Amino acid sequence: MLFALTCAFCIPILIGMERDSKGLAIVIRSVKIRDNDRLLTLFSPSLGILQAVAYGARKSIRSIKAPLYTEGNFSLEKTRRGTTLKDIDVISTHSGIMEDLDRMQAATLFSDLVLTARSAEPELYALYASALDALEDTGFERVVTQFIVHFLTLEGLSGDYASCPVCGRGYGEEEILGFSASEGVAVCHDCDTMDGALLLPPRARAYLRRSIEIPFRDALSLRVSEEQGHRIARYLLRTLPFSFPGKLRSLEYGIWKL
């Protein structure tokens, strides 16, 4: 009898605990469904990558605004119809990103990389959140460069810019690097498979080498001229499809001419 009583009370409580979840997250994608509702994809270091519906204004339900790139502590409720957004303690809406097309394109690329990699590691979350913060007050090409090199390093897809990943030879001080399409990394002149189509000069290599030795935020303030910074960002965007195995729609259909 006691057993039955205990269970009658404890089961609803346990189910209730499973139904609600709360965690730090960023709205990484937002798609309109029905007139006022949106299907959000959330990137959370504790909950992973998940989808939740944010209901728009209607009589019975309180609407909660969660624009794209909003970071905060999200309260979610699991119902029979799926996960819904109950509340957010907003940390930042990153609204500055939406003021500029290049910033928007950069944020779309970062989201595309995270979602295609299907990784929700806390280190990747920290990088993604810092990159969105940086887009609001730092030149977008600098942020793009540092996001790509740090992302590829986290995913184990980057060379170290110190020695050739194919033949193992250490690079000379003034050496111009080539690129290996099959390996997806910068390589020495002898291992180049692109007939010199993707060259990396010595100063650009030194900048990238230093970039991956230090944290993302520190790397953003490494000294580089505007012209050099532009060339390095362009180099990384052109080599990214070889370095990253997934299909990146943001680059294929994006606004940047590469």
Site of interaction with Zn ion (CB under 5 A):
164, 166-167, 187-188, 191
Shortest Cβ distance from residue 165 to Zn ion (Å)?
A: 8
Nearer to Zn ion, 166 or 181 (CB): 166
Nearer to Zn ion, 16 or 168 (CB): 168
Closest of 25, 111, 132, 124 to residue 76, by C-alpha: 25
What contacts 126, CB < 8 A, 6 or more positions away? 45
Q: What is the DSSP letter of 60?
A: S
d(CA 184, CA 152): 11
What single-letter amino acid sits at 46?
S
Residue 45 to residues 159, 190, 222, Cα–Cα distance (Å): 26, 42, 28
Nearer to Zn ion, 88 or 188 (CB): 188
Shortest Cβ distance from residue 169 to Zn ion (Å)?
A: 5
Shortest Cβ distance from residue 206 to Zn ion (Å)?
A: 18
Nearer to Zn ion, 27 or 187 (CB): 187
Q: Angle at CA 67, nearest 5°, toward 86 and 99?
A: 165
Shortest Cβ distance from residue 180 to Zn ion (Å)?
A: 8
Nearer to Zn ion, 137 or 173 (CB): 173
Shortest Cβ distance from residue 187 to Zn ion (Å)?
A: 5
At 67, list the tokens.
Answer: 């624009």
